[in-house]
């Protein structure tokens, strides 16, 4: 029994020795100066993510929205206090320091690079509207430059060149404002270069685009004139009638349409209709420039249809009724011209002499009257030579 106890004690001693040698720990590679550091110690030294401070370089944390990240300031921007107020501007989001009122620059201003197409999708609606407005301003500037270039050609009567340049505006800038005025200018250029068909097309487009604008009335008159130059009398008449219907007979501008209608009738040698229009103008526009012009035109028509006495009476009426105007000496000269046209040389000379007496201080008509009297002397000399005494 005693021997068994000694043997057991020997065995236990050997086991303890072996255990101490086999399971002894090696130096911890993470320990400083071979001092061991436990796993719990490592965890204790790690920082809690929830307790980490906000990154002060940007003033934002990982929960920032995509809009905020795209609009955050660049590295050179002034950094406001975390107490600073956030204000939204047309350029995007800017920061104002509560104390000093310092405004941070935008990322685009710092980097000097344009916003990409993907970034454009996330811009605020106000910023997008500003970009569109800037685009409109640039378009308008380009339109003005092109129009000025075309005007140079127009001023030297290169109407085709002007129309070609102005046509680029219509083609390249279809969204520009005021295109109907450009069309009107193009129509003018075509009209003055005698391309009446092209002018008609442009005038019609002006009327279709802006029928109530002031320029539409002038476009309508010129449209009628182009039809008349192409001998399309019926089309011209319809245009003038439409103007009268829209403006009303009492409107002063309607009288111009009546004059144009009468002129069309005169070209068609429909004198009776033209005479009726002139008499109506005199009736409906009394004591106006329209009445005076109506009487002059009526007198010319009467003279053209060999009714010289009636023509002279019209001129005398103008001379008397509007004696204090520039129309009076003109009418007096026409009296002498009508007598001369009728072959009444004696009364013609008397009429011209009256001009010298009554309008002696009007150099223009005095010179005309003297030239006419001298011409009558030559006319008398020629008659005597041809027909004898």
- Bridge partners (DSSP) of residue 92 are 89
Does residue 319 surpass a pLDDT of 70?
Answer: yes
pLDDT of 92-129, one tens digit each? 333 333 334 333 334 343 333 344 444 444 445 655 55
Per-residue confidence (pLDDT) for residue 72, from 0 to 100: 40
- pLDDT tier at 203, thresholds 50, 70, 90: very high
Contact 254, 290 (CB under 8 A): no
Tokens of 302: 């009467």
Phi, psi of 62 (to 5 degrees): -70, -10
Closest CA to 321 of 275, 288, 274, 273: 288
SS3 assignment, position 174: coil
- pLDDT tier at 286, thresholds 50, 70, 90: very high
Per-residue confidence (pLDDT) for residue 126, from 0 to 100: 58
Per-residue confidence (pLDDT) for residue 227, from 0 to 100: 97
* d(C-alpha 87, C-alpha 69), whole Å: 16
pLDDT of 346-364, one tens digit each? 999 999 999 999 999 999 9
Per-residue confidence (pLDDT) for residue 6, from 0 to 100: 55
Q: Mean pLDDT, to the nearest integer, of 20-44? A: 42
How many Cβ atoms are within 10 Å of 50's Cβ, its own excluded?
Answer: 5
Per-residue confidence (pLDDT) for residue 87, from 0 to 100: 35
Can you give the residue ranges of every domain in the chain?
136-230, 306-389
Closest CA to 337 of 386, 300, 293, 384: 300
Question: Kind and range of the H or E element at 86?
Answer: strand 85-89
> Residues 6 or more apart from 243 whose CB is under 8 A from it?
217, 220, 221, 224, 253, 254, 257
pLDDT of 214-266, one tens digit each? 899 999 999 999 999 999 999 999 999 999 988 775 567 789 999 999 999 99
- pLDDT tier at 187, thresholds 50, 70, 90: very high
- pLDDT tier at 20, thresholds 50, 70, 90: very low
Per-residue confidence (pLDDT) for residue 109, from 0 to 100: 37
Architecture of domain 136-230: Alpha Horseshoe (1.25)
pTM above 0.75, yes or no: no
What percent of the chain shows pLDDT beyond 90? 52
Same-fold call for 136-230 versus 306-389: yes
Phi, psi of 125 (to 5 degrees): -60, -35
Per-residue confidence (pLDDT) for residue 97, from 0 to 100: 38
As a CATH number, domain 306-389 is 1.25.40
SS3 assignment, position 85: strand
pLDDT of 33-82, one tens digit each? 444 444 444 344 444 444 444 444 444 444 443 234 324 444 444 433 32
Per-residue confidence (pLDDT) for residue 75, from 0 to 100: 41
Q: Is 10 exposed, middle or buried (0-12, 13-18, 19+ CB in 10 A)?
A: exposed
* d(C-alpha 159, C-alpha 144), whole Å: 18
List helix spans (H) across the chain: 2-22, 39-45, 66-70, 107-111, 117-120, 125-155, 159-172, 179-192, 196-209, 214-229, 233-247, 254-267, 271-284, 289-304, 308-321, 327-342, 345-358, 363-387
Per-residue confidence (pLDDT) for residue 191, from 0 to 100: 97
SS3 assignment, position 326: coil
> Residues 6 or more apart from 301 whose CB is under 8 A from it?
266, 271, 274, 275, 278
DSSP state of 49: G
* d(C-alpha 33, C-alpha 24), whole Å: 18
Does residue 279 surpass a pLDDT of 90?
Answer: yes
Per-residue confidence (pLDDT) for residue 11, from 0 to 100: 56
């Amino acid at each position: 029994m005693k021997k068994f106890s000694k043997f057991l004690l020997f065995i236990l001693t050997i086991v303890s020795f072996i255990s101490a040698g086999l399971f002894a720990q090696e130096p911890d590679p993470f320990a400083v100066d071979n001092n061991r550091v436990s796993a719990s110690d490592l965890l204790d030294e790690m920082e809690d993510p929830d307790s980490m401070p906000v990154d002060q370089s940007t003033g934002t944390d990982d929960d920032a929205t995509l809009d905020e990240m795209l609009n955050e300031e660049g590295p050179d921007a002034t950094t406001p206090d975390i107490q600073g107020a956030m204000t939204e501007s047309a350029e995007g989001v800017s920061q104002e320091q509560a104390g000093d009122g310092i405004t941070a620059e935008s990322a685009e201003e710092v980097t000097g690079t344009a916003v990409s197409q993907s970034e454009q999708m996330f811009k605020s609606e106000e910023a997008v509207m500003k970009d569109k407005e800037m685009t409109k301003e640039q378009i308008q500037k380009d339109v003005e430059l092109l129009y000025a270039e075309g005007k140079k050609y127009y001023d030297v009567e290169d109407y085709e060149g002007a129309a070609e340049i102005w046509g680029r505006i219509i083609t390249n800038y279809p969204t520009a404002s005021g295109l109907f005025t450009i069309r009107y200018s193009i129509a003018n250029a075509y009209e003055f270069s005698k391309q009446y068909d092209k002018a008609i097309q442009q005038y019609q487009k002006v009327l279709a685009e802006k029928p109530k604008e002031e320029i539409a009335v002038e476009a309508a008159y010129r449209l009628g004139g182009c039809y008349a130059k192409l001998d399309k009398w019926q089309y011209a008449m319809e245009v003038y009638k439409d103007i009268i219907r829209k403006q009303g007979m009492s409107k002063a501008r309607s009288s111009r349409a009546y004059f144009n209608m009468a002129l069309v009738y005169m070209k068609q040698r429909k004198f009776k209709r033209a005479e009726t229009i002139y008499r109506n103008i005199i009736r409906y526009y009394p004591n106006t420039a329209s009445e005076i012009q109506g009487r002059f035109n009526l007198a010319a028509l009467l003279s053209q249809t060999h009714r010289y006495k009636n023509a002279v009476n019209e001129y005398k009426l103008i001379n008397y009724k509007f004696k204090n105007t520039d129309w009076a000496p003109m009418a007096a000269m026409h009296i002498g011209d009508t007598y001369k046209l009728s072959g009444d040389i004696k009364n013609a000379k008397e009429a011209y002499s009256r001009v010298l007496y009554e309008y002696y201080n009007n150099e223009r008509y005095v010179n005309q009257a003297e030239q006419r009297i001298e011409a009558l002397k030559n006319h008398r000399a020629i008659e005597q030579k041809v027909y004898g005494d």
